Amino acid sequence: MKCLFLLCLCLVPIVVFSSTFTSQNPINLPSDATPVLDVTGKELDPRLSYRIISIGRGALGGDVYLGKSPNSDAPCANGVFRFNSDVGPSGTPVRFIGSSSHFGPHIFEGELLNIQFDISTVKLCASYTIWKVGDYDASLGTMLLETGGTIGQADSSWFKIVKSSQLGYNLLYCPFSSDDQFCLKVGVVHQNGKRRLALVKDNPLDVSFKQVQ
């Protein structure tokens, strides 16, 4: 937790702690909240599964997938990666679990949410499907995305989807506040020849979402 605090001081000017964001106390969204759209222009539905696709060609492309973290002692695959190219395997399906479920079956821009790999797994690995941000990695100088998170709790598992300044959408990690200025960008770093999702200061990952049929 100390490392998380130090990293936030580097990337954002102020840290405001909040413990109000739980499944028992859902977030109130403005009446004009904008739904997140998939690649066909349909609104994301938390009841459906999607693949997260990096927007780009060649080495800039590639789906997000669940893989084994290097040097991890976790009993299950727990790393969040992006394939090295847009030509290759499909990514691991995910579900988006919003904090404003009382607004109906939608996912909105700027809504606090959890992300869960939607896969069949043994009971032991059930908790290793929910995204979170792990401890500070000194060798890479940042914090890596991994699984083992929780749903509906004010901890290291809160994310947002926001409109990208380039194309598509960006993912933000929002541990302390619903205000975007206190969120951290999700991008890609190189780890042992793979592209690992991590917190970045610049060059966030631009993504789109494709429904799994």
pLDDT at 2 over 50: no
- Phi/psi of residue 112, nearest 5 degrees: -65, 135
Q: Is residue 3 part of a domain?
A: no
Q: Is residue 206 part of a domain?
A: yes
| Higher pLDDT among residues 100 and 3, named by residue | 100
* pLDDT recorded at residue 1: 46
Q: Look at the chain and report how many structural domains it folds into.
A: 1
CATH of the domain at 177: 2.80.10.50
* pLDDT recorded at residue 31: 61
Alpha-carbon span 165 to 178, nearest angstrom: 20
- Helix, strand, coil fractions of the chain, as percent rounded to 5: 10, 35, 55
Q: Is residue 80 part of a domain?
A: yes
pLDDT at 67 over 90: yes
Alpha-carbon span 158 to 166, nearest angstrom: 23
Indicate the pLDDT class of residue 28, thresholds 50, 70 and 90.
low
Q: Which residue has the tokens 């009971």?
A: 123
Amino acid at the residue 104: G
Alpha-carbon span 44 to 36, nearest angstrom: 6
pLDDT digits (tens, 9 = 90+) for 203-213: 999 999 999 98
User: In angstroms, what CA-CA distances link 149 with 11, 42, 74, 88, 91?
Assistant: 22, 28, 13, 28, 20
pLDDT digits (tens, 9 = 90+) for 16-26: 333 334 444 44
Q: Is the CB of residue 161 less than 8 Å from the CB of residue 36?
A: yes
Alpha-carbon span 99 to 77, nearest angstrom: 26
Q: Is residue 44 part of a domain?
A: no
Most confident of 34-38, 83-87, 164-168, 174-178: 34-38
* pLDDT recorded at residue 103: 60
Q: Is residue 29 part of a domain?
A: no
Q: Is residue 35 part of a domain?
A: no
- Domain housing 155: 50-211
The phi-psi region of residue 88 (left if phi > 0; otherwise alpha if psi is between -120 and 50; otherwise beta) is: left
Q: Is residue 10 part of a domain?
A: no
Q: Which two tokens mark 62?
A: 């590639």
pLDDT at 54 over 90: yes
- Phi/psi of residue 126, nearest 5 degrees: -60, -40
Predicted TM-score of the model (pTM): 0.85
pLDDT at 10 over 60: no
Within 10 angstroms of residue 45's Cβ, the number of other Cβ atoms is 17
* pLDDT recorded at residue 46: 94
Question: What's the whole-number mean pLDDT along residues 80-98?
Answer: 94
Q: Is residue 32 part of a domain?
A: no
165 contact partners, CB below 8 Å, separation of at least 6? none
